[in-house]
Copies of this chain bind each other. A is one copy, B any other.
Amino acid sequence: MCRIASYIGPEIPLENIIVRPNHSLLAQSQKANEAKLAVNGDGFGVSWYNDTSDLPGLYRDVLPAWADDNLTNLCRMVRSPLFIAHVRASTMGETSRVNCHPFSHGRWSFCHNGQIPHFPAIRRQMEAALPDDLYAARRGTTDSEMIFLTLLANGLDHDPAEAMRKTVAAITAQNAMSPVKMTCVLSDGESLYGFRYGSDGIAPTLYVSGTLDNGGRAIASEPLTGMATGWNAIEQHTLCRLGPEQNEMRSLVA
């Protein structure tokens, strides 16, 4: 299991989400309240967007987030209007930078919290379904990276909700007996998306904040304040989009 925190809104230092809140992502890396594992020490990562580059920045390393001075420095210095951060508790794939979230491809960056059951048994089948360019883009060995590439193959660029629906259907079809768990946060540099799906109705938690003091909004595994007030659980099987203009909650079941 893992923990995720992300933000969209007026430009802020990354630390305002990752380090400073009472129950920041860094705090959650040592003591998560709503995760199967309280400690998320198997690496971390952050993707962020700005005007300087068309592609997101990506900083990932294998140390526990709480032990990395570089991360603290980065979070203090770097400002961004849109970013996603992740701390990892490894369930699959060794601890290496390429297995740390977020994964990125073009403008997209993607974090996952959950698990595809029996992934080794269906990995070859999932990889065979990828077009050549996405097949070549694999770097690591996680089910999470495979979900991301499958989303891209299923048209993430054109219709994120439809891509999510197709991907969930494909993975669930291959796991008739075991529960698939997919809680994701992703972005194309324009909007911030949060999604929860558990084939048994139980996916890892994900919350969306109301409008924060500075006018921005956040999506996180657990309320960054440590209190439910001002945060709403994203419903199961629902894709939440926070965009620059209007926000949207869209059930994928309908």
Q: How far is A97 from B38 in the complex, measured between Cα atoms in Å?
A: 25
The yes or no answer to A172 lying at the interface (CB within 8 A) is no
The yes or no answer to A154 lying at the interface (CB within 8 A) is no
Among B50, B62, B76, B95, the residue within 8 A (CB) of A57 is B76
The yes or no answer to A39 lying at the interface (CB within 8 A) is yes
Task: Please state if A77 and B94 are interface contacts (CB–CB under 8 Å).
Answer: no
CB distance from A50 to the nearest CB of B (A): 6
Residues of B within 8 A of A143 (CB): none
The yes or no answer to A200 lying at the interface (CB within 8 A) is no
Q: How far is A142 from B79 in the complex, measured between Cα atoms in Å?
A: 33
CB distance from A61 to the nearest CB of B (A): 7
Contact with B along A122-138 (1 / 0, CB 8 A): 01100000001001101
The yes or no answer to A249 lying at the interface (CB within 8 A) is no
Q: How far is A132 from B96 in the complex, measured between Cα atoms in Å?
A: 24
Contact with B along A202-215 (1 / 0, CB 8 A): 00000000000000
A contacts with B, residue count (CB < 8 A): 43
Task: Please state if B61 and A63 are interface contacts (CB–CB under 8 Å).
Answer: no
- Chain B CB within 10 Å, residue with most, of A50, A57, A76, A77: A77
Task: Please state if B77 and A53 are interface contacts (CB–CB under 8 Å).
Answer: yes
The yes or no answer to A108 lying at the interface (CB within 8 A) is no
Among B55, B94, B120, B124, the residue within 8 A (CB) of A67 is B94
Residue in B closest to A121 when the chains form the complex, CB atoms: B136
The yes or no answer to A248 lying at the interface (CB within 8 A) is no
Contact with B along A24-57 (1 / 0, CB 8 A): 0000001000000011011000001010110101
Residues of B within 8 A of A38 (CB): 38-39
Residue in B closest to A124 when the chains form the complex, CB atoms: B135
Residue in B closest to A41 when the chains form the complex, CB atoms: B41
Q: How far is A157 from B176 in the complex, measured between Cα atoms in Å?
A: 37
Q: How far is A61 from B62 in the complex, measured between Cα atoms in Å?
A: 12
Residues of B within 8 A of A94 (CB): 67, 69, 97-98, 139
What are 24 contact pairs spanning A and B, CB under 8 A? A13-B53, A30-B39, A38-B39, A42-B64, A53-B77, A55-B76, A57-B73, A57-B74, A58-B69, A58-B70, A58-B73, A59-B74, A60-B70, A61-B70, A62-B63, A62-B67, A63-B63, A64-B64, A74-B74, A78-B78, A94-B97, A98-B141, A123-B136, A138-B141
